Amino acid sequence: MKKTKTHEIKKILIANRGEIALRIIRACRDMGIKSVAVYSTADKDSLHVKLADESVCIGPAPAKDSYLDQAAILTAALLTNADAIHPGYGFLSERTDFIKKVEEHKLIFIGPTALQVDRMGDKVNAKLTAKECGLPVIPGSDGSVDTLEDALDVAEKCGYPVLLKAAAGGGGKGIRPVYSPDEMEDAFTATKREALNGFGDDKLYMEKLLTHPRHIEFQVLADQYGDVVIFGERDCSIQRNRQKVIEEAPAVCLTDKQRDDMIEVCRESIKKMGYQNAGTLEFLYQDGEFYFLEMNTRIQVEHPATEMIYDVDLISEQIRVAMGEKLRFKQKDLKSNGHAIEFRINAEDPETFVPSAGTVTAYQTPGGLGVRIDAAAYSGWRIPPNYDSMVAKLIVWAPTRTECIRRSQRALDEYVIEGVHTTIPLQQRLLANEDIQACDYDNLWLEKKLKDEWKKK
């Protein structure tokens, strides 16, 4: 047996904001670890600043001058004598240059290594690595498509329709469908431009466009000694502009055999990668087949849905892995219980989706058995216009999916956020829909509803 080498962590700087910063602060308190919040001037009254043991202002409102300012964050960590940095999700969580700087300053990065992020963060590298490690992949280019001629050649081999995708992309951006050769030139030029402007890298790759897929992802946790567990799967198929709106665990569209088989495929692939800490393997699922989509080398927004059915604190487990501890459970020990649904509550108009920054004049959360709120909002808080519009997550658990939907409807009805528009009415509308209740939808379902049946009169 390999001897474990532990590194004590007494204080963690959280390089993030909002609900994920609060989530990490609470995990730290449960573990007896001190927390340091960083904040921009726009976030000086935010809850994560109020609840952390220490806080440091790192710059003005624009993210590039604060939450993306690596020097400011590292300086804050050193000045407060932090032992480690937790990046949360977004911002610097998958920046290999930042991870290397953290390690150079003798700090612990709570996440995978820079090499692992580099292999799986770039979409082209990730697909090649996934294929090498035995994951099923979508037909498409073996690497990047660098010229229009390359793009036309690969599309002809795959068969139309196809997707052009930015290799450094994320968040549903830098993606464009192409349905015929006549569309390729304009699509290729536009996607390259969008990739360069959005991500600083115009490299593209191509995949076959699946016409009715579901988005199924598997939660990964691995230690530094080669032990890997997969905490089942989440169904994230309710999406708008490729942004997730509702996530469920488990995915009721899968059979037990499909689930068990994919858990084993994912475990073996992660072992071959030599990956460590938390991550998520994402797949498109259509007609009984899985196709690797990407890997998120960090904790995800929707991790609470998995926590609810496995009774596990994934943030605490991330910290333990970063300290050099071995996983405390084996795959055979993991048993899911019941059903969980997570709702992203955004400060947006529920029909036009225009962001709704402003002051929250009233705030009342739902309660009761199986209801959890991960939120940055409170009465009197001014939502800044500078960042992502998500202000809260409602996570609901119940023994069955039917009971979970009913409990979720009750919880959404109880949830009061006044002073700004939110997407709560959209979530209520979704749960009342027969297709949602019957689990009869795919990734494109919500887009079609919004475009056709639900468009504003």
Active site members: 298
Beta strands in 313-383, from DSSP E residues, in sequence order: 339-346, 358-359, 362-364, 371-375, 382-383
CB contact at 8 A, 230 and 219: yes
Beta-carbon contacts of residue 142 (< 8 Å; ≥ 6 apart):
128
Helices (H), 207-302: 256-273
CA distance between the termini of the chain: 66
Side-chain half-sphere CA neighbours of 358 within 13 A: 16
Residue 234: alpha-carbon gap to chain centroid: 11
Determine what percent of the chain falls in helix, strand and coil, rounding each to the nearest 5: 35, 25, 40
Beta-carbon contacts of residue 322 (< 8 Å; ≥ 6 apart):
7, 9, 84, 108, 109, 110, 111, 277
Please write down the HEC assignment for all residues of 297-315. Answer: CCCCCCHHHHHHHHCCCHH
Cα torsion angle, 178, 181, 187, 188, sign: positive
Tell me how far apart the alpha carbons of residues 401 and 167 are, in angstroms, rounded to a whole number.
Answer: 36
Question: Which residue in 209, 213, 176 sits closest to 191, CA to CA?
Answer: 176
Tell me how far apart the alpha carbons of residues 280 and 135 are, in angstroms, rounded to a whole number.
Answer: 13
CB contact at 8 A, 247 and 264: no
The token pair at 288 is 């009984």
Q: Is 157 left (phi over 0), alpha (psi -120 to 50) or beta?
A: alpha
Cα torsion angle, 385, 386, 390, 391, sign: negative
CB contact at 8 A, 308 and 232: no
Centre a 10 Å sphere on the Cβ of residue 204 and count the other Cβ atoms it contains: 29
Q: What is residue 172's DSSP assignment? A: T
The β-bridge relationship of strands 11-14 and 84-86 is parallel
CB contact at 8 A, 358 and 383: yes
